[in-house]
Amino acid sequence: MLRSRPVIFVCEGNTCRSPMAEVMARQDLADLDARFASAGLAARAGAPATEEAQAVLVELGLDLGGHRARPVSVVPWGEAAWAIAMTRAQAVRLRSAGAGAGGCRIGVLGAPGVDLAGGGPSPACEEVADPWGGDRDAYRAAAAQIRRLLAAWRPVLGAPVDDGKDAG
């Protein structure tokens, strides 16, 4: 079951896109047997979500106030079911950082269910642009895109995991 193996959303600093995806997934996919977290490839440990990300999620009835960034280097990848990046380049960097260790699948939010952990080129797909440094409308656009792309992951994340990692 996924509940014992988290889905980790990944972006650069873990202050905009990946924490928004984490919190939205908790709301939008709450009925699935899954848990969600986030991390950043270049995260400064302990940094809060940006003010704009927090404000946009408040508009959606969600809270990022308690979020603190964590770098991918501290994620126990062998315990994760999926590492889902916002861009194809981030997925490649995740693979280089060893995120595929221990059976963790590596994906891109815009390519539901495509596992890149084994190597090979990532498929052409929609990517979530980084709103960092942009205005609130840039964050709103990113949030809307993330929410739409998350919906496409529902059948993947709702499917039983049969990889030998999910002991009773």
Q: Could you report the per-residue pLDDT of 18-72, keeping only the tens digit for each?
A: 999 999 999 999 999 889 999 999 999 999 999 999 999 999 999 999 999 999 9
What is the value of pTM for the model shown? Answer: 0.93
Alpha-carbon Rg for the chain, nearest whole angstrom, is 15
- As given in the structure block, the two tokens for residue 1 are 């079951």
The answer to whether 2 touches 34, Cβ cutoff 8 Å, is yes
Kindly report the CATH number that applies to the domain delimited by 2-158. Answer: 3.40.50.2300
